[in-house]
Each structure stands twice: as C-alpha cells, then as structure tokens.
Structure 1
Amino acid sequence: MVTKRTKKKTSKKTVRKVAGRKAPSQRKFPAWIILLFGILMGLLVAVYGYINGWVPKPDNPNETPVAQTAQTSSNSEVEDQSAELQIKPSNDFDFYESLQDMEVAVDKEALKQTQDRKPVIYNLQLGAFRKLSDAESLKAQVAFVGITAHIQTITDAKGVQWHRVRIGPYENSRKADVAKRKLEDSGFSAILVHE
C-alpha cells in the first residue's frame, strides 16, 4: 500500500493593524468653510432677533451719549452740556413718606387672643408600654446616654394603663430637636409631642 504524502496545511497569517495613527478621514468641506457658515448663521439669528424686537432699543434714539459729545466738542461746550445734563433725578417713590404717616389699625380682640395664648410645651416621647418594668428599662438605657427621662402613667378611654417614657419639657422646638438628634445618634427614636 502506498501512502500519500500530504503537505501540512499552513494557516493564514493574521494581519495585525498597527495601533496608533489612523488614516486621515476624508472631509467633504474644509474647516474654514464650516466656521464661516457658523458665523453667518449667528449673524442671521442676531439680525432676525433685532428685527423682531428681541434686542431692546434705546428710549431716545436722537440723544447722543455724553462721552461721544465730549470728544467732539471743546471744553467750554462740555461744561455747558454737563450743566444741562445734571438733572436731579425725580423721586418717583413716595411710599417712604406715606408709610410714615400711615396708621395701622390693630384689632383688639386679635391682640387679646395672642396675649392670652398659653406657651407651648414640647416633650420627646420615647415609647409607651403596658408594663412598668419595660418603661423603667428604657429609662435606664436613656440615662446611660446622659439624658434624664421620666415615666408618665396614664389610663386611656378603655381603662388600660400605659406608661410613657418622656424627656422634657422644652420651652421651644429648637431645644427639643437638639435632644432628639442626640437620642437618634445614640440609637433611640423619639417623637416630638407639644402640649
């Protein structure tokens, strides 16, 4: 038997592209034409806006600015014109005087109600428990933080006795919020109760 000798198949070499420079892209228009087109479009938009009133027009187009007048005239003429231009601004606002002369009528009943209002007292409530031992346990945990709590015992409409763990009273809400943040930083949650 005759064996055939076959040639080894050679693999095609993979062609690697050299990384780095890319071939310059073919542009249809040069850069200066694109720039010129952009400038022309901007000018067209500006003219269109000026025609349609987007740009404010001067109040008196015949009046020339003082700086231009000073450049074209002599010193004596400048002094005459500056004296004419020094017009005292009119005080269009008369409410300064009218408010001082005005008297505000205050309703005496409304004033009396605000004076008779009781001051608001703020407390922080940490919890309400049916068992006194649970309330005392929470009170002791809060004492480790450095805040003194008290237990308030109440009876609801159904005759059930509740033991509230509260902190306070505080004279304003700002002081109560400071204490609440201190409790929250220590891991306790509290609600603000005002009476």
Structure 2
Amino acid sequence: MSRDFAKKGRAPARRTSSSSNSSTPAWLWFVAGLVLGAFAASFYFIKNPVTVEAPKEEPKPKAKVTENKTPKPRFDFYKLLQESETIVPASETMEEQKPAQEQTTEYILQVGSFPNEYDADKLRAQLILLNLDARIEKVEIRKGEIWHRVVVGPFATQTALTTARTQLVNNQYNALVLKRAKTK
C-alpha cells in the first residue's frame, strides 16, 4: 500500500532564542522612562523658570442695563409674622403688682405651627408627656389656609413661664414667648 507523505503532520519547530530569556520586563522600561522624563522636565524648568505676570486691567465697558420682565416673587409670610406676633425678651417681668382681674395681657409659649393637624397633635402629645399644659389653636392665615399652632400656657406668673420655658429648652424644643390680649 502506498503512503501519502504530504499529509503527514509535522511537529512545530521550536524556537530557542537566548534573547527571550534575558530580556528586561516591560514595567522596568516604563519606570525608567518615567524617571528619565521627570529628570528632563525638572532640568528644563530649572534652566527656564516660569514667570507669571499679573493680567493687565483694561477699563471695563459699561454693561447695558436690561430690564427683567419677570416679576420678583412676593413673600407675604414675613409681613404676616411681624403683624401677628410680639416676641417678649426673656428678662422682661410680668407686672405682678396688679391683681389677676386687672391684667389685660397674657403670656404663652408657642412651640410649633403646622399646616397638618396630625403633626400638631403629635407635638402636643410629646409636650403633655413632659407634664406641660399644651393645646392646639387653629388659625386662619389667609382665606382658606388654616395652620395649627401648638401653644403652652397661658401662665399666671413670670416664674411659671420661666419654668416651662426652661423645661422646653432642656428637652431641645425652641419656643417663642408671645404676649397677647387676654381672652375671657
């Protein structure tokens, strides 16, 4: 039988090169290039120092004033707040020489104000747990806009007011001292 020697597979020739075993790794060439580049850059900047000049001030052309056609937003909150409340300094004393029947003003502590009644009731419950006489007052700010104020008081004496305010501050509640006409 005849044999076909053309289809016979040959083993691939092995390359044995002495240069592949003794070559330097690529990372070493990279590090050497970085060091050489840094040295060249520092040498260049030592020989040619960079000077920074202050920019020359040119007269500024007058900007054209353009009128803004959009109206500025109007905030009524600040006006309403100033009109409705009077903040009393902490050092002011109540007039205790007048009998209780003749006093026409009362002092209360406003601890919070909420548009949502649920939030106001939650704060009221926390204040009741602190043994304070808290209640919710519904106030109409604008037509149809109702806010729920959480107030503590009214207080008959200055010492009761100071005690309640100290207790609120110790429990990290900020309160406003309000002075208003006595309600009968």
Tell me, yes or no, whether TM beats 0.5: no
TM-score range, shorter chain: 0.3 to 0.5
Q: Which has the higher contact order (CA 8 A, sep 6+)?
A: 2
Alignment TM-score, normalising by the size of structure 2: 0.40
Bigger proportion of residues as strand: 2
